[in-house]
Structure 1
Amino acid sequence: MTKKIICLFCLCLCISTVFAKDYQLQSPDKKTIIRVHTREDLTFSVHYKKTPLLNPTVIALELEGIILGKEPKVIRKNTNSVNREIKPEVCEKSELIQENYNELKLTFEKGFDVVFRAYNNGVAYRFGTHLPGEITVKSEKGNFNFPENNMVYWPKERSFHSNNQVYYDFTSLGELSLKDLGSLPVLMDTGKGVKLVIGETDLEDYPGMWFNGAEGNTLVSTFPAYPNKTEQVGDRDVFVRDRKDYIAKTKGSRTFPWRYIAIAEKDGELITNQLSWLLADPCEIKDPTWIKPGKVAWDWWNANNVYGVDFRAGINTETYKYYIDFAADYGLEYIILDEGWYELGNLLKIVPDIDMEELTSYAKKRGVGLILWVVWKTLDDQLEPALDQFQKWGIKGIKVDFMDKDDQWMVNYYHKIAKESAKREILVDFHGSYKPAGLRRKFPNVLTREGVNGGEQYKWSLRQTPEHNLITPFSRMVAGPMDYTPGAMNNAQKKNYKPIFDRPMSMGTRCHQLAMYVAYESPLQMLCDNPSNYRKEPECMKFLSAVPAVWDETKVLEAKISDYLLLARRKDKEWYLGAMTDWDARTLQFDLSFLPKGKKYKMTIYQDGINADRNATDFKMIEIIVDNTFQYELKMAPGGGMAAMIQPL
């Protein structure tokens, strides 16, 4: 009898061993290791240089009647390695992107798989299902369990009704609880010389992922459930008053969004990280050559406060001709007609003071494209007739605003707008939007989006500080381009700053603003101030006319999250530098050793003037001849910066 019990025990142990197995995946440089555990729950952990970054983390997909990831049984293992260069349709950071990863795909009983990827600069995983018909997803579990009480730049949110325009609370994991809601991406400092950014990409037909705090050093995923009852207020706000008991109804055979963790030893490596783009679906536009990035003269921020003209400034034909002339004179590709050009609620009814036929004809004559601001709901209600009319007018782009959600229905709306706009060769800029999550690769006509607390905050906020400006490029920008809308010509130090809605100023110096055109990625890059102010600043306009909106190469020279940033970017044979500091005056040393040897360049430097600590508009322009041996000591005022052009002779 004893022998039978022992044999039975051994048999059970053998069966358990077959189904409970650990799998390991290394990055190509062998510094990062993912360990996957298939026991009672499906979990994975991450080590970097033998240091744990993520303890065993439970992941699961709960469908109606079944939990995929509970008592997982692997039936097949596949591995793959990729090392190639990809040329993106829109060069946000570089003209070529290196894609180098090792992949592990585990196929399980119950009709699902999970794919893990290990890159040299991060890790990622995603679920896939192979089930008939339609499935109902009740929830998705991702209990991110960290080994230490990491410090977090927490993107604090109040509810799922959000445009993801956040300020960051610098706190610890241990101080967060289930009542704390945060959007992605999440930036954290492990305290061991490694920074992490957690995000998602390839988001389609599924809600966006958010985080709650939890007990211990844990973040738990949460998702907006599918809307059941909504209420429209005015022309733009649609509030979800009641939700279904599921997050998505979707195809039974599909892949789900990637969840990625960017890993960086140097803070600047976060700025060059391309995981969000690499993990997204490839371009679906057959011929994307019509997509033209560029700079945009924007009206709303400056409230059309042009002056020195012989017409009444406002939302009218003469004012926008003035913007068109400004754009043409300085080589800007586009202007925006923001809120006010149509009667709210009807995109096909233009206000009496706008002659659209005359404007479009004049813009075409002067070689400037028009972009039209629209409320998302009105566009949805009038989608085909509105887009068809825009195409007839020759409109080059639309700025779609006030969506303020990322449930499954709204995520699908973004894809619909991107696709329908692409059919008509129309660019898209999403405002009032959730963070970038891969759509821009599939539809590169989506050149930029908001989802960031940008320059508009200067009109009403005291929190749009230089420190905030030095968190966003290491956190929000890891997810993709951000329409921050820089370019303020009225600048103020902390003690002189005051939010004024119709006559806004920026916190920090003039050169802090100029540096954003190099530091911040946005293939549609705004000039937020009014043309009358810019025409009084010929030295600044020399830079703003020349600085590109897309880049062939990016090099981060110095970087510390929330404190300072100095980087160089190349377009063709020209280089541009941008430097920013927080409220601390700072001195940085840099050289130009990245330039080719034996070649001479003209370098035009815009740096804080000697009195910029008192008058933030003060700057100094210097022109010198340099080569790759050049060294420079840069002094920045509080909230200061530097911008430079390096042009071959």
Structure 2
Amino acid sequence: MAMLSLASVASHAKQISVSSPDRRTEIVVEVREAITYSVRHNGREILSPSRICLTLGDGTVLGHRSVLQRVQQREIKQVIRPVVKEKSEEILDHCRELALDFAQGFSLIFRAYNDGVAYRFVTRLPGQIIVKAEEATFRFPADCLTYFPEEESFFTHSERLYLHIPLSQITPGRFCSLPALVEIPEGPKVAITESDLEDYPGMYLTGSGDSPNTLVGLFPRYVLQDSARNDRDIVPVRRADFLARTRGERVFPWRVLVIADRDGDLVESQMVYKLARPLELDDTSWIRPGKVAWDWWNALNVYGVDFRAGINTATYKYYIDFASRYGIEYVILDEGWYKLGDLLQVNPDIDMEELTTYARQKNVGLILWVVWKTLDQQMQEALDQFQRWGIKGIKVDFMQRDDQDVVNFYWRVAREAAKRHLIVDFHGAHKPTGLRRAYPNVLTREGVRGMEWSKWSRGASPDNAVTIPFIRMLAGPMDYTPGAMLNATREQFRPIMTLPMSQGTRCHQLAMYVVYESPLQMLSDSPTHYLKEPECMEFLAKVPTVWDETRVLDARVAEYILVARRNGQEWWLGAMTNWTPRDLVVDFSFLGPGRYELQAYQDGINADRCAMDYKRVVKTIVSGHRENIHLAPGGGWAARVIPLDQ
């Protein structure tokens, strides 16, 4: 970390500012009876003075009549090389930081990046403290349209649709999970989320009854008692009148605003990762991103075989054979492999020793699905058993909460899994907040309205599919679970639990493997279907799940997206549209010199009538080539670009 400047400012200063390295964004902090901050971008106020404070259990308010003792500024400029390359092999962490130290035993840290701003509380208090309330305010200068993932309860999978509504309609009775997106009229878009969430409840947003055009933080209170409806739904029934009981000397989560002049900037931003806790593992050589053959979405519907398909050894050997044939790294055993409530009682139709031996011989790793509460109760003995079996990872499901104790559960799982060299996929989960930087064995998580919704509803629509890359994915990888080979137009689609299909075209599905970031990426359809699609499997078998470089070439929130990503010397491209057909131009000026082979999968001429219609085109191109592409309703385009002269 390069400290390029350090300056102390007189303690009587009441207004202090810090600017981003490119000086286009400025945070202005006012310390008076209350502490407020505002944000200017390109000379224009995009966030009006907004009050922040923490109220402790003894009634002390950190941020009310606080005495400023010291002001320091520094410039941070460092290169982060992530263990798991979600967007790029290197991340430039470059910002200017303002640290305000107060006599009441706390500090406020502000950071101004070229693509956003963030702040956090730091306390230096003895012993344990109780945080009774936090005031996190986001007051905008005027009414703005928002993308608001409205929630009904703190007991949630965080899989909401994004309502496109004005701030003025968001009353104190309505609230949403994060991230949320605000469109400044004739200005940038501002995404609100958090980073480095640990030992504290997650933040939601609600309306303000006191100030128009304002969002305020809302937090689930500490759970005193919960009740088990079944093995997975552990519902709070009694809450305390405080948020957290925690260490008095600690850092609190970052409150993050990502500022995007281009919609594509939301996809390229890595602020949440940069603000997260640094790597805590000494050895990461065993962490292996990759693709997964998944059983649950396709309901284990394999056919043309000589065994009875289901949750049994023969069926999973079939999945392993498929994965091995195409170099797919993992197979998941989802719900049904163990007796619910006891991770040590294996389904008698599964011979786990035989299965793990078979998978090892085929160079395929096995991942086991578990219910979170059962894992919590049996963590040591279950994870030890998984390690003895040679299991490579766990999929932890149904947390549905982010109060303090459950947030801590995520960290505990990450640590204990890492000790046993297990990768982790969280489902039924809240949004990512950077845990994966400290524990990169946490490869992905859900917390997104993914393709599973197509089994029972129309919720996984192309409209949703081109919204989530800009908002949910800004927080971190998302396990959308793409890969459907049964594809339907809007009119043809039907939700069928045991024989599911996707909305939109085949190429819409293929493009997701490039557009969506998930270092652990699912192939959610049946191996039988994939085996009947060798041309698509040429793409799916080779497409990477980690990237050395990411460029958004063209994009508009909730309408369409065109992304290029590089892995090694090859480029991969994906384009997706909502239900509106459209024509785009792919400009290959980003390529280096020489000739390249373009292998493109494009919507077929009849894809608007039969969504499975596609065409594979191969041609030679050079840098500067412009490719005109047509996307059908709910359509897509996917391509691999291979250098020929190297």
User: Which band: TM-score by shorter chain?
Assistant: over 0.9
Q: Distance in 1 between matches of 2:128 and 2:224?
A: 19
After the TM superposition, which of the residue ranges 461-470 and 545-554 deviates more from structure 2? 461-470
Equivalences for residues 218-617 of structure 1 within 5 A: 218-597=214-593, 599-617=594-612
Quick check: 1:57 aligned with 2:53?
no
Equivalences for residues 105-120 of structure 1 within 5 A: 105-120=99-114
Quick check: 1:33 aligned with 2:39?
no
Q: Distance in 1 between matches of 2:357 and 2:118?
A: 49
After the TM superposition, which of the residue ranges 72-81 and 427-436 deviates more from structure 2? 72-81
| Offset from partner CA, 1:32-83 (integer Å, 9 cap, x none) | 0000000111000000011111000000011012000001221011111012
Does the Cα contact within 8 Å between 1:372 and 1:395 map onto a contact in 2?
yes
Percent identity between the aligned chains? 55
Quick check: 1:130 aligned with 2:86?
no
How much does 1:233 deviate?
1.3
Equivalences for residues 192-207 of structure 1 within 5 A: 192-207=186-201
Counterpart amino acid of residue 604 in structure 2: G
Does the Cα contact within 8 Å between 2:11 and 2:71 map onto a contact in 1?
no
How much does 1:603 deviate?
1.0
Q: Distance in 1 between matches of 2:39 and 2:162?
A: 26
| Offset from partner CA, 1:254-276 (integer Å, 9 cap, x none) | 00000110001000011010010
Partner residue, 2:614: 619
Of 631, 634, 643, 1:636 maps to 631
Partner residue, 1:6: none
The TM-score normalised by the length of structure 2 is: 0.97
Q: Distance in 2 between matches of 1:68 and 1:422?
A: 37
Counterpart amino acid of residue 225 in structure 1: R
How much does 1:641 deviate?
0.4
Does the Cα contact within 8 Å between 1:467 and 1:582 map onto a contact in 2?
yes
Counterpart amino acid of residue 99 in structure 1: D
The higher radius of gyration belongs to 1
Does the Cα contact within 8 Å between 2:598 and 2:618 map onto a contact in 1?
yes
Q: Distance in 2 between matches of 1:230 and 1:375?
A: 16
Counterpart amino acid of residue 358 in structure 2: Y
Does the Cα contact within 8 Å between 2:581 and 2:632 map onto a contact in 1?
yes
SS of 1:390's equivalent in the other structure is helix
| Offset from partner CA, 1:535-559 (integer Å, 9 cap, x none) | 0001100000010000000011000
SS of 2:307's equivalent in the other structure is coil
Quick check: 1:76 aligned with 2:70?
yes
Does the Cα contact within 8 Å between 1:19 and 1:73 map onto a contact in 2?
no
Counterpart amino acid of residue 70 in structure 1: H
Quick check: 1:210 aligned with 2:200?
no
Q: Distance in 2 between matches of 1:290 and 1:333?
A: 13
Partner residue, 2:7: none
Q: Distance in 1 between matches of 2:16 and 2:559?
A: 40
How much does 1:467 deviate?
1.1
Of 31, 37, 42, 1:44 maps to 37
Does the Cα contact within 8 Å between 2:11 and 2:70 map onto a contact in 1?
no
Q: Distance in 2 between matches of 1:460 and 1:189?
A: 32
Does the Cα contact within 8 Å between 1:141 and 1:221 map onto a contact in 2?
yes
How much does 1:84 deviate?
2.2
Q: Which runs of 5+ in 1 are unaligned?
A: 1-16
Of 163, 171, 174, 1:169 maps to 163
Q: Distance in 1 between matches of 2:167 and 2:624?
A: 45
Of 17, 30, 35, 1:24 maps to 17
After the TM superposition, which of the residue ranges 300-309 and 207-216 deviates more from structure 2? 207-216
SS of 2:469's equivalent in the other structure is helix
How much does 1:20 deviate?
6.1
Question: Runs (4+) of structure 1 moved beyond 3 Å?
Answer: 17-20
Q: Distance in 2 between matches of 1:580 and 1:55?
A: 36
The TM-score normalised by the length of structure 1 is: 0.97
Q: Distance in 2 between matches of 1:348 and 1:229?
A: 27
Q: Distance in 2 between matches of 1:617 and 1:316?
A: 31
Equivalences for residues 151-166 of structure 1 within 5 A: 151-166=145-160
Q: Distance in 1 between matches of 2:67 and 2:463?
A: 48
Of 627, 636, 647, 2:642 maps to 647
Q: Distance in 1 between matches of 2:625 and 2:164?
A: 38
How much does 1:461 deviate?
1.3
Q: Which runs of 5+ in 2 are unaligned?
A: 1-9
Partner residue, 1:92: 86
How much does 1:19 deviate?
4.6
Does the Cα contact within 8 Å between 2:11 and 2:69 map onto a contact in 1?
no
Q: Distance in 2 between matches of 1:482 and 1:526?
A: 11
